Amino acid sequence: MARNSLGLDKSPVDTRVVVAMSGGVDSSVTAALLKEQGYDVVGVTLQLYDHGVAVGKTGACCAGQDIADARQVAERLSIPHYVLDYESRFRAEVMEAFADSYARGETPVPCIACNRTVKFRDLLRTARELGAEALATGHYVRRVQGAHGAELHRGADPSRDQSYFLFGTTRDQLEFLRFPLGDLPKSETR
């Protein structure tokens, strides 16, 4: 059997993919592309902030209006959608570490810590528990199969490349991750 577009030896219809849906255009297009290609897509959104405080707020990654937007996209695509309460994990693994680092005079980047822990450790585990064979995100990076396994490469669009935010991704995580937008310019995604 030929490899599917995600590099797996299965037909798309027999391949479950969990898509991390933030509510934004990139993750929404990722879910739509995979659904269009025939994959068994499951949308997952992380609630990282107190939902009561964040209701109606936009631009606060994984909270408030973003969760409602992701849910609406999932409904339009007719895919299952789950909201996972990762608020306490996010606070402990990202926000408290950020505050401690900042207090030491460092310049931490919370998105890097979030990707390394909450998203690509905890969410990856949950994706496997849901029976997925891959976790896809809307990041503009490319996953290339190298001589020693999966490698992280810059996105094709240099103005949107997000490899810096994912530099801490392990080889084991990369084996499971997929980035369908990595070869696209943002203009095509929109």
* Whole-angstrom distance, CA of residue 91 vs CA of residue 93: 6
Mean predicted lDDT score pLDDT of the chain: 88
Return d(Cα 98, Cα 83) in angstroms, integer: 24
In this predicted model, what pLDDT tens digit does every residue of 61-120 receive, in sequence order? 555 688 889 999 999 999 999 998 888 888 888 888 888 888 999 888 887 887 787 788
Most confident of 41-55, 61-75, 163-177: 163-177
Q: Which pLDDT band, with edges at 50, 70 and 90, does 139 fall under?
A: very high
Residue linked to tokens 């606060």: 60
Q: Which tops the pLDDT comparison, 91 or 183?
A: 183
16-20/81-85 β-pairing: unpaired
Helix (H) or strand (E) holding 136: strand 134-136
| pLDDT surpasses 90 at 52 | no
Extract the tokens encoding 139.
């990041």
Domain ranges of the chain: 16-184
The CA distances from residue 79 to 16, 38, 176, 177, in Å, are: 11, 12, 21, 19
Q: Which has the closest alpha carbon to 35: 89, 75, 84?
A: 75
Query: Rounded to the nearest 5°, which phi and psi values hold at 43?
Result: -90, 140
Residue 173 has pLDDT above 60, yes or no: yes
What CATH code would you report for 16-184? 3.40.50.620
pTM for this entry: 0.88
Are 41 and 31 in contact by the 8 Å Cβ rule? The answer is yes
Q: What is the pLDDT at residue 54?
A: 47
pLDDT at 51: 52
